[in-house]
Amino acid sequence: MAETLLKVAGLQAWYGESHILHGVDFEIRRGELVTLLGRNGAGKTTTLRSIMGILGKRTGSIAFDGKETIGLPSDLIARLGIAYCPEERGIFSSLNVDENLRLPPVVKPGGLSIEEIYKLFPNLLERRTSQGTKLSGGEQQMLAIGRILRTGANLLLLDEPTEGLAPVIVQRIGEIIRQLKSRGFTILLVEQNFHFAATVADRHYVMEDGRVIDTVASSDVQQSIGKLQSYLGV
Amino acid sequence: MFELLGIAPQALFGQLLLGLINGAFYAMLSLGLAVIFGMLNVINFTHGAQYMMGAFAAWLLLGLLDVPFWASLVIAPIIVGLFGIVIEKLLLKRIYHLDHLYGFLLTFGLALVIEGLFQWKWGSSGAPYPNPIPGGTNLGFMFLPTYRGFVVVAALVICLATWYGIERTKLGAYLRAATENPTLVRAFGINVPRLITLTYGLGVALAALAGVLAAPIQQVSALMGVNLVLVVFAVVVIGGMGSIMGSIVTGFGLGLIEGLTKVFYPPASNTVIFVVMALVLLIKPAGLFGQTK
């Protein structure tokens, strides 16, 4: 069994005065693809933002590759090799596609080259000089994923990459996520779309009220489908 | 044609040149303000004082150390830019999370303190700075002093270089991205606080560079930035807060409008820029080149 890459223990986090995470515990092994499932407001996005260090106050422990990151600013966390693709995608309107793609600095060797990324997302190559926010939703999502593949980060945090996209695009993103896994990336995926998540992940953590309340291995999904549906309220 | 309008061509072109020179300073100063505002969200009311410090730095370098104008053109902005970095690290960075009003109060207060100190040490009456390129050319329709021509060209080069640096380079891409979403840029591994400090230093150095260029034209005095900065703020408002090209075009354009007003209706020349500002705000509140957020 592969070693643990990320270990979150007793993580609590706040947005201003509101206490969102009440002790989150989970871990991801190197090369795994793990999802956080849960209803709106369960704390999935907040967990990703806490790992990335872009939240005001957090306590507990987040160890990446054996190194404690709970006290680090987000730029140093990124330099350890964690990359983040936010739910709102965060494409910069004052940058063109190519500039958006080249923006995140390379933090480690082993990332994809620009050519490889354009090969993975041929649409982006065609529109490389367009303003970033002029792209379609699906293209923006591909750009948001593509730009973090160059940096050499080995842990990717993907926040709802399929949200609001047409089924054919969702399928394409699923293929890409599987490809990334086979290339050795470790991925933590937040999803509302359980059916999508079930097709790509090794394991699912279920979150509720700022805690992880259950773990389901992908191989057990069929047996646990009733339980999962009650968790997610679908 | 000139006879028809009843205006001598010498007067017209003379005022146009003057307008172009004023416009050059408006452009350089509003450019620094735009860069600072875009990144720090602070309206830098210390800009006029920092412009004055640039002129003083050149004057003191010449008087005390015999440093020639051309060397001061590089050294003075570095000195004043470093001063700006200290100000940002000590004071400004503590107020970014507060309302704009605090940034205004802090930078305005700083300007008063700095100008007060210079006035106390060197008095209010100006000191002359020798013209580094005396002489001029008779163009037939007007006389062009060489140094003034140089200032217009230098300002254009400085403005375009700044525009290029921001719009076409990697560092500029970081700046533009961090202006939009500093949190995300930081989460990509870029040290955004350092980028902000650097931006302020560069904006202040630009003001100081304008100050050095102004020294041979104007008297070097503690209050030389006070009136100028008022006009420059009007330029920034007209051009659109935070727009780089807007600052450059508006700066030169308003200098020319001011010059033309001096020819055709001199009494209005001091107010014309503010009239334009009022009109622009009525029709396009975000400014000519600004985008509503």
pLDDT string in tens for chain B (293-residue length):
555 567 777 788 888 898 999 999 999 999 999 889 888 888 899 999 999 999 999 999 999 999 999 999 999 999 999 999 999 999 999 998 888 899 999 999 999 999 999 999 998 888 999 999 998 888 888 888 999 999 999 999 999 999 999 999 999 999 999 999 999 999 999 999 999 999 999 999 999 999 999 999 988 999 999 989 889 999 988 988 777 888 899 999 999 999 999 888 888 888 999 999 999 999 988 888 876 54
Cross-chain residue pair A105–B188, CB shorter than 8 Å: yes
- Nearest residue of chain A to residue B186 (CA atoms): A75
All residues of chain A having their beta carbon less than 8 Å from the beta carbon of residue B187 are: 52-54, 74-75, 77-78, 84
| Nearest C-alpha neighbor of B92 from the set B204, B184, B12 | B204
Over range A27-33, report the average pLDDT. Answer: 95
All residues of chain A having their beta carbon less than 8 Å from the beta carbon of residue B173 are: 95, 99, 102-103
Nearest C-alpha of chain A: how many angstroms from B98? 15
Rounded distance between C-alpha atoms, residue A205 and residue A216, angstroms: 6
Cross-chain residue pair A107–B176, CB shorter than 8 Å: no
Query: Exposed/middle/buried for A42, CB within 10 Å: 0-12, 13-18, 19+?
Result: buried
All residues of chain A having their beta carbon less than 8 Å from the beta carbon of residue B181 are: 90, 92
Q: Are A198 and A218 in contact (CB under 8 A)?
A: yes
Reply yes or no on whether the pLDDT at A31 is more than 90.
Answer: yes
Nearest C-alpha of chain B: how many angstroms from A85? 9
Rounded distance between C-alpha atoms, residue B256 and residue B258, angstroms: 5
Which among A54, A74, A95 is the nearest to B177, CB-wise?
A95
Nearest C-alpha of chain B: how many angstroms from A49? 9
Cross-chain residue pair B186–A95, CB shorter than 8 Å: no
Cross-chain residue pair B183–A54, CB shorter than 8 Å: yes
pLDDT of residue A217: 87
Rounded distance between C-alpha atoms, residue A87 and residue A135, angstroms: 16
| Nearest C-alpha neighbor of B238 from the set B196, B272, B261 | B272
Q: Does B245 touch chain A (CB under 8 A)?
A: no
From the candidates B179, B186, B188, B197, which should be mutated to test the interface with A, based on the most A CB atoms within 10 A? B188
- Residues 53 to 82 of A: which have CB under 8 A from any B CB? 53-54, 73-79
Q: How far is CA B231 from CA B46, B207, B238, in A?
A: 14, 14, 11
pLDDT of residue B5: 65
Nearest C-alpha of chain B: how many angstroms from A80? 9
Which among A53, A95, A104 is the nearest to B188, CB-wise?
A104
- Nearest residue of chain B to residue A149 (CA atoms): B188
Q: What is the pLDDT of residues A169-216, one digit of tens each?
A: 999 999 999 999 999 999 999 988 888 888 889 999 999 999 999 998
Cross-chain residue pair A78–B189, CB shorter than 8 Å: yes
Cross-chain residue pair A104–B189, CB shorter than 8 Å: yes
Which backbone phi and psi does A12 adopt, to 5 degrees? -120, 145
CATH of domain A4-232: 3.40.50.300
Q: What is the pLDDT of residues A107-154, one digit of tens each?
A: 999 899 999 999 999 999 999 999 988 899 999 999 999 999 999 999
pLDDT of residue A218: 82
DSSP string, B91-157: TGGGSTTS-HHHHHHHHHHHHHHHHHHHHHHH-SS-B----SS--EEE-SSSEEEHHHHHHHHHHHH
pTM for the whole structure: 0.89
Chains A, B: CB pairs < 8 Å: 60
- Residues 86 to 145 of A: which have CB under 8 A from any B CB? 86, 90, 92-95, 99, 102-105, 107
Which strands, in side-by-side order, build the sheet including A203-208? A82-85, A155-159, A186-190, A33-37, A203-208, A211-217
Over range A3-31, report the average pLDDT. Answer: 94
- Residues 148 to 177 of B: which have CB under 8 A from any A CB? 170, 173-174, 176-177
ipTM of the complex: 0.92
